[in-house]
Amino acid sequence: MRCGAIVLARHGEPGLSRKVSLNAAGYANWWGRYEEVGLLPGQTPPADLVAFAQRASLILCSTRPRSMETAKAVAGERAVEIDANLVEAPLPPPNWPSWLKLSPRLWGVTSRTTWWFFDHHAGQESRHEAQRRADVVADRLAALALHGDVLVVAHGFFNTMIGRSLRRHGWKLKASQGYKYWAMRRFERTGPAMPTGIELAAATLES
């Protein structure tokens, strides 16, 4: 039996400006708002993403508004399954002096770096906990792909973690549009499908 493809897509552009300068506490608040906002109005889903959604056997998204609105935009009238396990990995900023102000983009880089390499999670989900979550998701996606193509509309960095898990267990990255908004990464298994129990599938910067 051969598997369908798994496409991991990043959401569209959220409706929250990055043209601000913030200290660590300010960035933590900014990230909290980012997790709650939907998409910036006026965006058009890429035709290739819409086309894949039309032929996918299942479309999944996270519980975050930016993910749900993106999935709705590409799915049209099709049903979308919402899965809390697809939310982005946390981005707690490092405890730097309050006088230091950076853009959200630079805070994202530093926060992801300290979270990934130095286990700075401020009581939130740690890197190892997020990796276990990515493993569970990748295992489920591999099982779902036994029945056809699967589209996941979620977040930049956690999609990367899912992709790492898939690749460790025999899935090949066949096409990538990078990490921009609306971008897709397509994974395929070229050999026979493995039994579901063995499909265990264990950055960049932004969600």
CA distances from 67 to 87, 164, 175, 182, 183 (A): 9, 21, 21, 10, 13
| Measured distance between the N- and C-terminal CA atoms of the chain, rounded to whole angstroms | 34
Strands 150-154 and 6-10: parallel
pLDDT score recorded for residue 191: 59
Q: Is the pTM of this model over 0.85?
A: yes
- Identify whether 33 is part of a domain: no
pLDDT tens digits, one per residue of 10-64: 999 999 999 999 999 999 999 999 999 999 999 999 999 999 999 999 999 999 9
Residue 22 lies in a domain: no
In a domain, 131, yes or no: yes
Give the Cα separation of 162 and 187 in Å (integer).
11
For residue 50, what is the domain's CATH number?
Answer: 3.40.50.1240
Number of domains the chain contains: 1
31 lies in a domain? no
**What residues make up the domain containing 79?**
6-14+39-89+126-198
Per residue in 125-154, pLDDT (tens digit) is 999 999 999 999 999 999 999 999 999 999
Q: Which of 161, 154, 110, 108 is nearest to 133 (CA)?
A: 161
Does any domain span residue 106? no
pLDDT for 205 beyond 80: no
